[in-house]
A and B are shown apart, each in its own frame.
Chain A
Amino acid sequence: MRRVDTIKERIPLIELRGITKSFPGVVANDDIHLTLYEGEIHALVGENGAGKTTLMKILYGEYRADKGEILVRGKPVRITNPSVAVALGIGMVHQHFMLVPGLTVLENIILGSEPVKNVVLDLSLARRKIEDIMNANAMPVDLDAYVEDLPVGLQQRVEILKLLYRGAETLVLDEPTAVLTPQETSELFKTLKALKAQGRGIIFISHKLNEVLEIADRITVIRRGRVVGEMPLEEASKEKIAEMMVGKPVVLEVENPRVEVGEECLVLKDVVYEEYGVKKLDGISFSVHAGEIYGVAGVEGNGQEELLKIISGEIYPSAGEIHITNEVVNRIPPLGRRKLGVGHIPADRQAQGLFIDMPLYINAIVGWHWRQEFQKRGILDYKAMRSTASTIIKNFDVRTPSVEVPASALSGGNQQKFVVGREISFDPTLLLAAYPTRGVDVGATEFIYKQLIDEKIRGKAVLLISADLEEILALSDRIGVLYRGKIIKEFSREEATPEIIGLYMLGVKEE
């Protein structure tokens, strides 16, 4: 406690006051306060979509806040772009590294602030300076190695060196351990502790609780764009953070009756997916029956993306078998699977589900364009497309002036209703629903819930993937918890409580 008190007397390195930022249809950050002191590691915890990355992008000048102010060492500043942030001593390591693979480590580090002597690049000066930094922090890298040849852990080290070379006092690390092996993670933590000892401040974004408890001095939990709690390490526990992250379930008023289940529409048998030697899916087995909603709960990054792609056919399994309506589909591409009756509400409606600059009547047939009613001998039937779009708009309450407007003219919620409506309209046997209400307001959420439940009542199989535990609990008949590429536990709706599922999601409990 004493340590915290002494820190508080000092002027914070960074102070965020009342930061608010909204995007069309969503409030990403809502009145967020955050302080960071010298010599402190402050962990920012929350589920994906909670608003952590948006907040950090505001601090780094990539976004502008609608409201609120930023203070650096007590002085209000306006960070209009990343170079202003760098000049103020703020550095950021993004989830996806910003390195040039074809250049050497040295070149990457100095890129953008090259030392110059009489108009000529002074590489030896830079080299000496970087070597000093590497020695002082015990983080050696071969300066002449090409970045593309380095393992991920070392690439990340190069990113950090880049920040130190520019004199960063505040380091923001956005999910730095997501790409690292356990050994690399412990190396990183050593480095971070060394940097902290020099008086630098570090904001550490993560949703891996073990790591947060290992490295952080203070922890702030964000949920749905708001700060739900801030505590020093001494007061933190896994259970407490988990509860804050997931939240107390607000039961949405949706009636979700059980119906008699039919045959298995989707079966996964020991499905493995390996990428660059990493098992993203590690022996997944489960099945979804007609007339049920199977919910996959889990913290994002545990294999959800790969699970979805492997079922929709964008990637093929390295081992195991996938059956859709009694057919083995291991090597069948997305189109073939859609022809078997797979509807797919994609994880990202703007990047995947819609052609944002094209009119709604074209977006109405995305994924279903191959159907007879839309083409005769390869010639498009615009009349049929327009009438399909009108039907979707009517049945799914999409607010739009007409079917002629581009998808980008719609608000996020209406875009999502349109995508959900499209995928349901074509009467799929199996419906994949990924984050079906992400970034959607409460009204639209309830509407989409009803649609998914109706699909189930009509005897369809629905696979629901979501990071929102409330959603999983409100909709699913059975729940599987995905952790590190495996379904580690299955629950029936009756056995499931948010507390117990939360513990499995975070790997606190393992079977």
Chain B
Amino acid sequence: MTQEQVKTQPKSMEWKYRLIESLAPVLGFLFAMVIMMITVQFIGESPIKALSAILTFSFSQSGIAYIVSQSIPLIIAGEANAIAFQAGVFNIGVEGQYLFGALCAGVAGAYLNLPTYIHIPVVILAGMLGGMIWILIPALLKVYKGVHEVISTIMMNQIASAVILYLVDGPFNGVRGAKQSFNLRTPYMKPTAVFPSLHNIVNSITGLFGFKFPHYVAVDLSWLIALIVVVLLWFLLFKTSLGLRIRWVGQNISASVYAGVDVKKTLLVTMFISGAIAGLVGLQEVAYISKFFTPNITRGLGFTGLAVALLARNNPLGVILSGLLFSFLSRAGYGLQMYTKVPNSLIGIISGLMILSVVVIDQILRRYARTLRRREVG
């Protein structure tokens, strides 16, 4: 009788519930945009004008190119956070991990003499290793001493800021004699370590759709790295036994213990993966754009990465979209600032509002879908 039920009751209802559940980011985005337009009206600017400023500034050729290129570090930071979230770990320390990872990569690129096909992988590995080193202490403290990772990783962020300043001012100073601290940097990377440009390859593909990335926008090896990270992480989480165990630990620790999962080991492994990915965040800037490491490197990508992961609900594929969205938002902020009297900081508020509404709407929709399912089961 039950087998008949399985057969006769169409599976098709389930995709409907899944669709309902996955609407949250879209609705959250729309809700945030509506609020933004209302706010713009209050500021005394025309919402239509603001919208057109955003659209023309963002969806020009260079606008699109910038949005895509600048989404790369956001996507990688989003993945670092997403894998940690999947195991129920709040890795607030992506910030510190990518700073230290970027320094390690810069140093490996500047001081080693290797043929290019070895040097570039070594630079990448150095970045990952740096990220892993920076999560080592919080990971051990969490697993063996029960210290909450939020506290320890925030502290490690502060330490990272100080340590990179010390190291670049001291042993790895590339501008001896330079007195001004804003010039502080490591020596230039060897040409063998610099990331190759992928302009030709990417443009030959996008050219088919009539789009070319201009030469002044970074299209480099870090694109490929981001792509590989996304695919590997998706594969790990949803196709492998380890990934399943990671998601179990993130959902319910006592059920994981019951199932025989080694929770401590799983947490350690997850945190190391997260740290390794975090170590890749700064590579575009260090190994392609500036070709050295400086303490003035773009900051805050780790924290934006938290938001990117949240918006994507920690799905590695969703992170691509939400990374692009956050990149678009930052571009939109400049557009507003340039063409209207709306301050750039409004975009920060909108981003926050968007995350908040996604989280709330997500819960509401999940409950709604659950009720619908219950009704169907009877």
Contacts and interface: CB of A to CB of B under 8 A. Distances in A.
Interface of A: 24, 312, 314, 333-335, 337-338, 344, 346, 351-358, 362, 366-367, 369-370, 374-375, 378-380, 390, 393-394, 397-406, 408-411, 414
Interface of B: 1-3, 5-6, 9, 11, 13-14, 239-245, 247-248, 251-252, 254-255, 257-262, 370, 373-374, 376-378
A70 B248 CA distance: 42
Contacts of B5: 399-401
Nearest to A405: B373
A379 B244 CA distance: 10
A249 B317 CA distance: 57
B373 A409 contact: yes
A375 B6 CA distance: 25
A367 B260 CA distance: 6
Contacts of B245: 369
A410 B377 contact: yes
A353 B254 CA distance: 9
20 contacts: A333-B262, A334-B259, A335-B261, A344-B258, A356-B252, A357-B251, A366-B248, A366-B259, A380-B239, A380-B240, A393-B6, A399-B2, A399-B378, A401-B14, A402-B14, A404-B14, A405-B14, A406-B373, A409-B370, A411-B374
A370 B251 contact: no
Provide the main secondary structure of the chain A interface: loop
Contact of A352 (B240, B247, B258, B261): B258
A100 B261 CA distance: 31
Contact of B377 (A351, A375, A409): A409
Given A406-B370, A409-B370, 15 more contacts: A346-B258, A351-B255, A352-B258, A369-B245, A374-B241, A380-B239, A380-B244, A390-B6, A394-B3, A394-B6, A397-B1, A400-B377, A403-B6, A408-B370, A409-B374
Contacts, number: 111
A363 to B, nearest CB: 10
A380 B252 CA distance: 20
Given A358-B251, A367-B260, A393-B6, A401 B376 contact: yes
Nearest to A408: B370
B188 to A, nearest CB: 42
A408 B369 CA distance: 11
A346 B258 CA distance: 8
Nearest to B373: A409
A397 B370 contact: no
Nearest to A347: B258
Provide the main secondary structure of the chain B interface: helix
Contacts of A379: 239-241
Contacts of B247: 358
Contacts of A400: 5-6, 377
Nearest to A337: B260
A334 B260 contact: yes
Contacts of B244: 362, 369, 380
Contacts of B257: 314, 334
A352 B241 contact: no
A411 B377 contact: yes
Nearest to B1: A397
A394 B261 CA distance: 28
A390 B3 CA distance: 8
Nearest to B235: A379
A289 B139 CA distance: 44
Nearest to B15: A404
B55 to A, nearest CB: 38
A378 B258 contact: no
- Which 8 residue pairs spanning A and B have beta carbons closest together? A335-B260, A409-B373, A334-B260, A401-B9, A352-B258, A367-B259, A404-B14, A366-B259
Contacts of A312: 258
B260 A355 contact: no
Nearest to A349: B255
Contacts of B255: 351-355, 366
Nearest to A399: B377
Given A335-B262, A390-B6, A394-B2, A378 B242 contact: yes
B365 to A, nearest CB: 13
A355 B252 contact: yes
Contacts of B13: 401
B195 to A, nearest CB: 31
A333 B264 CA distance: 13
A334 B257 CA distance: 8
A356 B248 CA distance: 10
A69 B254 CA distance: 37
B158 to A, nearest CB: 23
Contacts of B373: 401, 405-406, 408-409
B260 A401 contact: no
